[in-house]
Amino acid sequence: MHLDLSGTRIRVGLETALRDAIQAGRLRSGTRLPSSRALATDLGIARNTIAEVYSQLVAEGWLTARTGSGTSVAERQAIDVGPGLSAPADFAAYRYDLRAGESDLSAFPRRAWQVLPARPSPPCPTGCSVVRIRAACRRCGRP
């Protein structure tokens, strides 16, 4: 099998090449990959680099690894990539709209915000130069 390791970063190139080979079907589910030592020797790169690539692809679910059994391409089900996600039919029943990019302005306390003064409260009348915002002045105890 030929892997195109183009680019300046070998690790990223190898990850991308293996991922692309799996997605394109050139590496089928269950295909056993060479050991990290053998692949490192064939490619002329560090074994640790191969181990990191395998670990990353295992974490992403592209590969499976078992001690003593080697590394192989994971079983993958075909995923239907549709035009996009749509809201469930009972979407109106949800209390909060947590979709990214959608702001629920109806929940913002606009009236309470408008009542707040446009500038901070004046300094403490005892002359301690503490601006009263929410807590009482620590010196005189006045709110």
Instruction: Decide which of 103 and 109 is more confident.
Output: 109
What share of the chain in percent tops pLDDT 70? 57
Report the 3 state secondary structure along 62-80. CEEEECCCEEEECCCCCCC
C-alpha–C-alpha distance, residues 46 and 67, integer Å = 20
Residues 124, 142 contacting (CB under 8 angstroms) = yes
What is the CATH topology of the domain spanning 10-73?
Arc Repressor Mutant, subunit A (1.10.10)
C-alpha–C-alpha distance, residues 49 and 18, integer Å = 14
C-alpha–C-alpha distance, residues 109 and 20, integer Å = 49
Q: pTM (2 decimals)?
A: 0.52
Helix (H, G, I), strand (E, B) or coil at 35: coil
Residue 137 has pLDDT above 70, yes or no: no
pLDDT of residue 66: 85
